[in-house]
Structure 1
């Protein structure tokens, strides 16, 4: 965790309850007591009234009855903190609480930018690979302001100009994506942000169209649509259990009720996706494709033969 993000998290903890001991804060932040003391001094330097009590029942607490000053973050620090919260924790309660506190203490100039990003972002994982901050903010503003965007994007070995109505930025467990309506292809499309170039917001405003669930649509496409083979399984285990076992970008899991779920996944090899299903450890039925039944029989014979050796 970076220093700025850690200090912001520390401020959030101090606002959650009246008193924290140094060891409690150190454990929650994953740092040493010495680092906690340094971060407390950083908050005091910024004007936050953090008191330190001694003895039994003592600890750190925010002084009552005082207005908290703006959090002193530059543009890059504010956007990086918001990106980390959005991509790392998705739409969890903790992330929303932290974003709310960030919004309350930022200067007006930065607050508007962070709201543009948070209001235009969804998640089904945590975006890990870095992308250009200006590109991300340009797309976030376009989503917020409902204006067309244009960019160069590779397809079929060549890069062509795309005109889109941007809808949402979506963070996966690996990358950032833009979910948008492609004006030339007249359909919804998913674009990897790191593959874009020449990104620019246009002056033409648009009226939002009825849209599918952005995060689910992107996840389904990432998990299966980009691979030469796609497979569907009925897994005899709860959807929450299976989701916890597979990366969001590797499989799309749908609850089917009665403690079962449907799993869709893609791979370069049917044998590869079949082996992953076996390793999950749950009973399953093959739904599609039909040839996977034969691959399952061949794999079972190989495993049986290996067990006899």
Structure 2
């Protein structure tokens, strides 16, 4: 068998190993149209190239692709290559410090080996796409790794945290999950000193270190729902609840989760929970959604809506 056909077969073997968690030697031999002995030789060729192919003996044994000490080259089909390239392009504008440069380097490597026909399709996606993103503070990737390991290993974390008043205090927490809302990263954790759940912005953390204190993970709020509630409600002086005569999914399309919370209500309507420091600003924001609305609370929002209505009526009469 020629060297070229052997190389092609080894690459096909790699594709198969990436497709499923495990294969028996007989299954691989049938897929490749070779003998079990040829499969064993091709597996050794992959190992020599740095691919960690693990084998288990006995009935039910077989081959699987495991994690190695270094990252070997990957084989991607057309859809995977396009999805990876587009994702890397989006990641180049990441809020994680250094991640943008790493994404661009990975993208350049992928582009170098991309077939011309796929390169043209990806260029078309780039050319037809713009990214609209507001300013955001960059996050130290080492902080992300520290918190991720602490969540995984259930160990306490200690850090300096800047509050909204500008003061900085040391906090010790039992972390549960990181949540990304908009272009900001948050940590949901139990504050040890306050013995309560809290949300912490990662861009306000400094000097984060893991301790040797392990904790037993127990019942906790849903991290995504908890962070959304904290982001949309806690920072504001005025918390509004407005019943909208509109399908909940339609309102969710217009109101990002980091801005407001949409709750399903009776008769196909929904309740929008949104915070703000100025009731008049909230009245304008709700009116601009374009749906029939009923203010549930607070009374200040109802008064602001009435004042807004009078002003708009006066504007309509002008001239």
TM-score band by shorter chain is 0.5 to 0.7
| Separation (CA, whole Å) in 2 of partners of 1:12 and 1:261 | 43
DSSP-derived class of the 2:254 partner: coil
Matched residues, number:
212
- Whether contact under 8 Å (1:178, 1:191) holds in the other structure is yes
For 1:20-169, list aligned pairs within 5 A: 29=86, 42-43=112-113, 129-155=137-163, 156-169=165-178
| Separation (CA, whole Å) in 2 of partners of 1:175 and 1:266 | 18
**Structure index of larger Rg:** 2
- Whether contact under 8 Å (1:162, 1:182) holds in the other structure is yes
1:157 Cα shift? 3.6
1:258 Cα shift? 2.8
DSSP-derived class of the 1:262 partner: strand
For 1:205-220, list aligned pairs within 5 A: 205-220=214-229
| Separation (CA, whole Å) in 2 of partners of 1:180 and 1:12 | 38
| Separation (CA, whole Å) in 1 of partners of 2:134 and 2:215 | 30
Matched, 1:243 2:307: no
TM-score with structure 2 setting the length: 0.60
Compute the RMSD of aligned alpha carbons: 3.2
Task: Note the residue ranges of structure 1 that are not aligned, 5 or more in a row.
Answer: 1-9, 32-37, 45-49, 53-58, 61-87, 89-124
Task: Note the residue ranges of structure 2 that are not aligned, 5 or more in a row.
Answer: 1-73, 90-107, 119-130
- Whether contact under 8 Å (1:153, 1:197) holds in the other structure is yes
| Separation (CA, whole Å) in 2 of partners of 1:12 and 1:233 | 48
| Separation (CA, whole Å) in 1 of partners of 2:273 and 2:136 | 23
Structure 1's 205 and 167: CA in aligned 2 closer, same or farther, altered over 3 A?
same
1:39 Cα shift? 6.4
Residue 274 of structure 1 corresponds to 283
| Separation (CA, whole Å) in 2 of partners of 1:141 and 1:126 | 29
Matched, 1:263 2:279: no
| Separation (CA, whole Å) in 2 of partners of 1:201 and 1:219 | 26
1:226 Cα shift? 0.2
DSSP-derived class of the 1:225 partner: coil
DSSP-derived class of the 2:265 partner: strand
The one of the two structures with greater contact order (alpha-carbon pairs below 8 A, sep at least 6) is 1
1:296 Cα shift? 1.4
